[in-house]
């Protein structure tokens, strides 16, 4: 029995020793260097971003007035055009055949008119002679009436033939006018921004063929606005515009037009913001409409550290120790100070643990919904190895 108790005691001591060997040791705190920022509520004019594109103020869409096959392409997209320069040609064989048919009809009508005129002249002479003979009682009244009826019938046929000949002339003029539309030319000095058909394509009357922009007329940034903004947007109001292809910096402009007709499919209406300079038609841009003043807790994008499905941030306590915080974030904003006014332009929404790609340049801020508070000191661009419990050596 004592030997059994002695064995149990040895086993207990061995297990205790193994447990002490497997227990993890707490890592020693490290000292890191990083920049910090103390958060504060930002009061600014919040703007609603409306995506759009640059359009010429004077843009012409050329459509076909005839049916046929495109037989020749003389201008490419992007070419500079002068007024009257040919863009493409459509086959006019059918119209030429119609013109030849009308011309033959008109020629036949002319020959018939000459023959009818001769018969009418003879009938007139016969009628006059019958009237003289009637006065001499050489013919009866019936003979005179028959001569008059024949003359009047030939006169009516002559008028009908003249009307037919005139109609053939009008048809010929109409066909020749349509044949001119088979050559599609630019109506103004501009740029061929789009060609809707290629060589060999068959087009119907009314089919769009090409678009020509008058670059000298100026440009607008055209965007679609939700119908809920219809009462708060007006022509001439100041808005913020952004065209990333030209510059990352937003700029102030005014609305040149507000088309209040709501599209029933998209439930949106069009707005146009005036642009200076010479942007290219089709460029992507945004019209940012101020919707009110708001206070938001905004943190720089560099203060947030996505970890899987979570977004975290490191803050500095009063002892210069790093503390990890799980942060819930909202929209991504671009801060802009224009003419002494501060605007925050929404560039997108954030998902769990992910940030939308922000435009290059400018100050990008992320709205903090929870996890951080005003006056918190956050670490910016913390090293990847930084963790809670490390000590901050201030730069």
What pLDDT does 23 receive? 46
Half-sphere exposure of 18 (CA within 13 A, CB side): 6
- Minimal CA–CA distance to 243: which of 274, 211, 212? 274
DSSP 26: P
- 160 by Cβ neighbours in 10 Å (0-12 / 13-18 / 19+) ranks as exposed
What pLDDT does 230 receive? 87
What pLDDT does 220 receive? 92
> Is the full-model pTM beyond 0.75?
no
Dmax over CA atoms of the chain, in Å, equals 180
Question: Is residue 153 within a helix (H) or strand (E), and if so which, with residue range?
Answer: helix 141-180
What pLDDT does 210 receive? 92
What pLDDT does 357 receive? 47
Positive or negative, the CA dihedral 98, 99, 104, 108 is positive
CA 241/CA 239 separation, integer angstroms: 6
What pLDDT does 364 receive? 81
Positive or negative, the CA dihedral 95, 96, 101, 104 is positive
What pLDDT does 53 receive? 92
Q: Do 103 and 176 meet the contact criterion of CB atoms below 8 Å apart?
A: no
CA 348/CA 82 separation, integer angstroms: 42
* Tokens 């002490």, residue located: 20
For each of the chain's 395 residues, which pLDDT tens digit applies? Answer: 455 555 555 555 555 555 544 445 556 778 888 888 999 988 888 888 899 999 888 889 999 888 889 999 999 988 989 999 999 998 877 777 777 787 777 777 778 788 888 888 887 888 788 788 778 777 788 877 888 888 788 888 878 878 877 777 777 777 777 778 888 999 999 889 889 999 999 988 889 999 998 888 888 999 999 998 888 889 999 899 988 888 878 889 999 999 989 999 999 999 999 998 778 888 899 998 988 888 889 999 888 988 888 899 998 888 888 899 999 998 888 888 888 887 888 776 554 444 444 444 457 889 999 999 999 999 888 887 888 888 888 65
- Minimal CA–CA distance to 288: which of 367, 348, 369? 348
What pLDDT does 361 receive? 45
CA 314/CA 321 separation, integer angstroms: 10
Positive or negative, the CA dihedral 327, 328, 331, 336 is negative
Half-sphere exposure of 168 (CA within 13 A, CB side): 18
Question: Is residue 107 within a helix (H) or strand (E), and if so which, with residue range?
Answer: helix 93-135
- Helix (H/G/I), strand (E/B), else coil: 27: coil
What pLDDT does 258 receive? 92
CA 355/CA 313 separation, integer angstroms: 14
Q: What is the CA radius of gyration of the chain?
A: 44
Can you spell out the DSSP letters for 30-94? -EEEEEEEE--EEEEEEEEEEEEEEEESSEEEEE-SS-EEEEEE---TT-EE-TT-EEEEE--HH
């Amino acid at each position: 029995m004592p030997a059994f108790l002695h064995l149990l005691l040895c086993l207990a001591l061995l297990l205790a020793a193994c447990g002490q060997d497997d227990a993890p040791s707490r890592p020693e705190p490290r000292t890191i260097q990083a920049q910090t920022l103390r958060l504060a509520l930002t009061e600014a004019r919040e703007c609603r971003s409306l995506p759009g594109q640059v359009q010429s103020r004077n843009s012409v869409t050329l459509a076909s007035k005839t049916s046929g096959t495109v037989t020749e392409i003389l201008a490419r997209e992007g070419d500079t055009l002068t007024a009257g320069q040919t863009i493409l040609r459509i086959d006019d064989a059918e119209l030429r055949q119609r013109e030849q048919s009308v011309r033959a009809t008109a020629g036949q009508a002319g020959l018939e008119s000459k023959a009818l005129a001769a018969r009418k002249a003879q009938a007139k002479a016969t009628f006059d002679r019958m009237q003289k003979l009637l006065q001499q009682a050489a013919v009866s009244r019936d003979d005179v009436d028959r001569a008059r009826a024949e003359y009047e019938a030939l006169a009516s046929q002559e008028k009908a033939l003249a009307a037919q000949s005139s109609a053939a002339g009008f048809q010929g003029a109409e066909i020749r006018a349509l044949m001119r539309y088979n050559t599609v030319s630019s109506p103004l000095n501009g740029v061929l921004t789009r060609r809707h058909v290629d060589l060999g394509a068959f087009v119907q009357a009314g089919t769009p063929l090409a678009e020509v922009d008058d670059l000298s007329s100026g440009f607008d940034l055209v965007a679609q606005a939700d119908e809920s903004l219809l009462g708060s947007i007006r022509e001439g109001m100041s808005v913020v515009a952004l065209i990333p292809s030209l510059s990352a910096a937003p700029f102030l402009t005014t609305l040149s037009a507000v088309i209040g007709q709501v599209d029933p499919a998209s439930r949106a209406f069009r707005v146009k913001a005036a642009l200076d300079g010479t942007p290219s038609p089709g460029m992507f841009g945004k019209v940012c409409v101020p919707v009110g003043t708001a206070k938001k807790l905004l943190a720089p994008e560099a203060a947030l550290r996505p970890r899987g499905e979570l977004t975290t941030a490191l803050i500095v306590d009063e002892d210069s120790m790093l503390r990890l915080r799980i942060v819930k974030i909202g929209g991504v904003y671009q801060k802009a100070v224009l003419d002494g006014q501060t605007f925050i332009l929404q560039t997108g929404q954030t998902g769990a643990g992910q940030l939308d790609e922000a435009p290059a340049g400018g100050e990008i801020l992320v709205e903090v919904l929870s996890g951080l508070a005003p006056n918190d000191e956050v670490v910016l661009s913390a090293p990847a190895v930084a963790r809670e419990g490390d000590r901050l050596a201030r730069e």
